[in-house]
């Protein structure tokens, strides 16, 4: 199985959540990192512009959650 990277935050923690009502038209994916949901047929070129923002946001929340000091 291919690991699908989230188009918004580049996370590999993605999963397929649904299929289109008409089978084979599109699939719906969800990112468990930033909760972004998208269809396989969507144009995601605009989404990628937010990549840096999401990387920073996710990294920051990871750091604050992961600290044990």
| Chain residues that interact with Zn ion, rule: CB under 5 A | 6, 8-9, 11, 31, 33-34, 36
Q: Yes or no: say if 14 and 5 are a contact pair by the CB < 8 Å rule.
A: yes
Nearer Cβ to Zn ion (25/62): 62
Minimum gap (Å) between residue 32 Cβ and Zn ion:
8
CA distances from 62 to 15, 22, 28, 38, 57 (A): 20, 38, 26, 23, 9
Closer to Zn ion by Cβ: residue 10 or 26? 10
Q: Which is nearer to Zn ion, 32 or 41 (CB)?
A: 32
């Amino acid at each position: 199985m291919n690991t699908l990277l989230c188009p918004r935050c580049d996370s590999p923690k993605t999963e397929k959540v649904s299929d289109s009502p008409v089978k084979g038209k599109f699939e719906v994916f969800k990112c468990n990192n930033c909760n972004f949901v998208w269809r396989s047929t969507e144009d995601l070129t605009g989404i990628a512009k937010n990549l840096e923002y999401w990387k920073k946001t996710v990294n920051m929340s990871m750091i604050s959650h992961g600290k044990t000091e």
